[in-house]
Amino acid sequence: MNAATYNFAYLDEQTKRMIRRAILKALAIPGYQVPFAAREMPMPYGWGTGGVQVTAAVIGPGDVLKVIDQGADDTTNAVSIRAFFRKVAGVATTTHTAEATVIQTRHRIPEYPLKEGQILVYQVPIPEPLRFLEPRETETRVMHGLEDYGLMHVKLYEDIAHHGRIATAYAYPVKVAGRYVMDPSPIPKFDNPKMTMSPALQLFGAGREKRIYAVPPYTEVKSLDFEDHPFEVQTFNEPCALCGARNVYLDEVVLDDRGGRMFVCSDTDNCESRRTGTGAQS
- Hey, which residues are catalytic here? 31, 240, 243, 265, 271
Smaller CB separation from another protein, 83 or 167? 167
Asked if 46 and 227 count as a contact pair (C-beta separation under 8 A), the reply is no
Min separation Cβ 181 and another protein, Å: 13
Distance between alpha carbon 234 and the CA centroid of its chain, in Å? 18
Smaller CB separation from another protein, 52 or 143? 143
Min separation Cβ 200 and another protein, Å: 29
Smaller CB separation from another protein, 99 or 225? 225
Q: Cα separation of 90 and 65, whole Å?
A: 10
Min separation Cβ 221 and another protein, Å: 17
Min separation Cβ 135 and another protein, Å: 11
Asked if 269 and 280 count as a contact pair (C-beta separation under 8 A), the reply is no
Smaller CB separation from another protein, 218 or 226? 226
Distance between alpha carbon 226 and the CA centroid of its chain, in Å? 25
The β-bridge partners of 123 are 205
Q: Cα separation of 175 and 184, whole Å?
A: 10
* Residue ranges that bind another protein, judged by CB under 8 A: 142, 146-151, 153-155, 157-158, 160-162, 225-229
Report the Cα–Cα distance between both ends of the chain, in Å, rounded.
41
